[in-house]
């Protein structure tokens, strides 16, 4: 149990070691000072991950040969496969390396929908289009009813009662995300899985963990689902890779595959060994972080400790963003700045905030931030990636602020100062500079 409700920061010495392990935390490619607070759109990369990508992809060898380097590549793949299981605490099942998390989700939804009996499918209004659109498409193709759980504008998430209330004996598939990439709200997946399976014990459940995986613990022994996906490029790794794990029963459902491959094999064509090398570097890093706090030779134990410390540090950054410090006002008190979907219990949130200015549009604000060396992103209702979720909260848009654990309190304070500067620059004349 995490007892630090307001989080716990890394020491200064560890913070600087952490920053050193990532590319471009404090400056951009030209060496200009920059704060990158758009990690929900693609996170800082570990130096070790990009090095592994280049090292492994430089080899011309095919992993399906008998030569020494081919055997080495097979080992890289086997270790990366084990490390996906380490991240998820998964036993058995199949690991599927796809090109994107969206691709893996569409494939999993298709396999379940086309092969598991049932007349309805259940999902939530907050899902990313990668799962929502897959659910809609296959519900339509197979003539099943799509049931969509509403969001809760107070928590910014989906209530357990609301989504479980849609499940019945005829539900073919339940698909729900671990955390919202708009509000940062974490869903109570453990309760959702338990209660949904109390209604239908053999219910198939898929989870989109793309947003949550880099920010907190996932434990499939406590939340036994049938499929779950992550995106390494949002998890300190590289783009061009989406990874999924499928339970034994889901893995053997009919799916696109070469006929000669085993029934539970999902990679279609030659998967790239670098994808696996990058996962291993991600897990190596989180374990290294864990080893700063706990002595263990067990990789999962070290990973659990590392991700828990990431979560605590990020919660402390979130508290600082919202409440500020002695010398800097937080977003909750800055005049003419609004925090949307603000929620008191930060243990229910990943490190993402949705904010807005009273007198400045979201897209213009993003440009103002950039001209001051800060990268954030606007989520507006005209975007296919945001409309459904924003509408569900009756929001027209927001500026999404998503730092990462490799940011420091000084980075957050710098962001708060710039936010104050922007709010003052766009204050109506009569209002005067913000107090």
Beta-carbon contacts of 236 under 8 Å, excluding residues fewer than 6 positions away, are 22, 43, 44, 45, 46, 49, 214, 282, 285
Total binding residues toward ligand PLP, as defined by CB under 6 A: 12
Q: Tell whether residue 97 is a contact of ligand PLP (CB under 6 A).
A: no
Q: What crossing angle do the helices spanning 68-88 and 299-323 adopt, rounded to 10°?
A: 60
Give the shortest CB-102-to-ligand PLP separation in angstroms: 3
Nearest to ligand PLP of 353, 416 (CB atom): 353
Please list every residue from 127 through 166 that binds ligand PLP, using CB under 6 A: 128, 130
Out of 242, 290, 324, 330, which residue is the one contacting ligand PLP (CB under 6 A)? 242
- How many whole angstroms separate alpha carbon 124 and alpha carbon 126? 5
| DSSP one-letter string for 194-259 | HHHHHHSTT-EEEEE-TTTTTTS---TTTS--SEEEE-GGGTTS-SS-EEEEE-HHHHTS--S--T
Nearest to ligand PLP of 175, 423 (CB atom): 175
Looking at the DSSP assignment, which residues form a beta bridge with residue 325? 328
Give the shortest CB-220-to-ligand PLP separation in angstroms: 18
The SS3 of residue 357 is: strand
- How many whole angstroms separate alpha carbon 250 and alpha carbon 112? 7
- DSSP E strands, 336-435: 337-340, 353-357, 374-375, 377-380, 397-401
Nearest to ligand PLP of 230, 416 (CB atom): 230
User: CB under 6 A: which stretch of 99-107, 267-275, 296-304, 419-427 binds ligand PLP?
Assistant: 99-107
Give the shortest CB-122-to-ligand PLP separation in angstroms: 18
Give the shortest CB-184-to-ligand PLP separation in angstroms: 11
Please list every residue from 160 through 219 that binds ligand PLP, using CB under 6 A: 177, 181, 208, 210-211
Nearest to ligand PLP of 15, 88 (CB atom): 88
Q: Tell whether residue 405 is a contact of ligand PLP (CB under 6 A).
A: no
Residues contributing to the site for ligand PLP (CB under 6 A) = 100-102, 128, 130, 177, 181, 208, 210-211, 231, 242
């Amino acid at each position: 149990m995490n007892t630090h409700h307001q989080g716990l920061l890394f020491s200064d010495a560890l913070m600087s070691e952490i920053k050193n392990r990532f590319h471009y935390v404090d400056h951009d490619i030209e060496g200009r000072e920059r704060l990158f607070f758009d990690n929900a759109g693609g996170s800082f990369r570990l130096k070790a991950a990009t090095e592994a990508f280049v090292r492994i992809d430089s080899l011309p060898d095919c992993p399906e040969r008998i030569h020494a380097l081919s055997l080495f590549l097979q080992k890289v793949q086997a270790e990366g496969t084990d490390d996906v299981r380490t991240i998820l605490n998964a036993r058995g099942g199949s690991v599927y390396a796809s090109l994107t998390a969206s691709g893996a989700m569409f494939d999993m939804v298709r396999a379940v929908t086309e092969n598991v009996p049932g007349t309805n499918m259940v999902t939530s209004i907050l899902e990313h289009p990668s799962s929502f659109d897959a659910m809609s498409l296959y519900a339509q193709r197979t003539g099943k009813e799509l049931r969509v759980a509403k969001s809760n504008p107070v928590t910014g998430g989906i209530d357990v009662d609301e989504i479980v209330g849609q499940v019945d004996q005829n539900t073919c598939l339940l698909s729900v995300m671990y955390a919202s990439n708009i509000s940062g709200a974490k869903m109570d997946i453990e309760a959702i899985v338990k209660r949904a399976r109390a209604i239908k014990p053999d219910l198939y459940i898929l989870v989109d963990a793309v947003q949550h995986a880099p920010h907190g613990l996932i434990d499939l022994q406590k939340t036994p689902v049938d499929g779950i996906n992550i995106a390494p490029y949002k998890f300190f790794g590289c783009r061009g890779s989406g990874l999924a794990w499928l339970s034994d029963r889901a893995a053997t459902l009919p799916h696109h595959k070469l006929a000669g491959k085993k029934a539970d094999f999902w990679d279609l064509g030659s998967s790239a060994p670098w994808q696996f090398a990058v996962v291993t570097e991600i897990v190596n890093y989180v374990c290294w972080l864990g080893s700063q706090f706990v002595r263990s030779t067990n990789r999962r134990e070290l990973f659990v400790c590392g991700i828990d410390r990431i979560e605590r540090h990020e919660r402390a950054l979130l508290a600082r963003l919202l409440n500020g410090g002695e010398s800097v006002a937080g977003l909750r008190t800055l005049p003419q700045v609004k925090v949307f979907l603000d929620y008191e219990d930060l243990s229910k949130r990943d490190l993402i905030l949705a904010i807005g200015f009273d007198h400045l549009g979201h897209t213009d604000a993003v440009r103002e931030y950039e001209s001051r060396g800060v990268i954030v992103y606007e989520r507006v209702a005209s975007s296919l990636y945001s409309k459904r979720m924003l509408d569900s909260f009756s929001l027209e848009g927001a500026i999404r602020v998503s730092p990462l654990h490799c940011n420091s309190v000084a980075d957050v304070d710098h962001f708060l100062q710039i936010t104050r500067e922007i709010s003052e620059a766009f204050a109506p004349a009569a209002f005067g500079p913000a107090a």
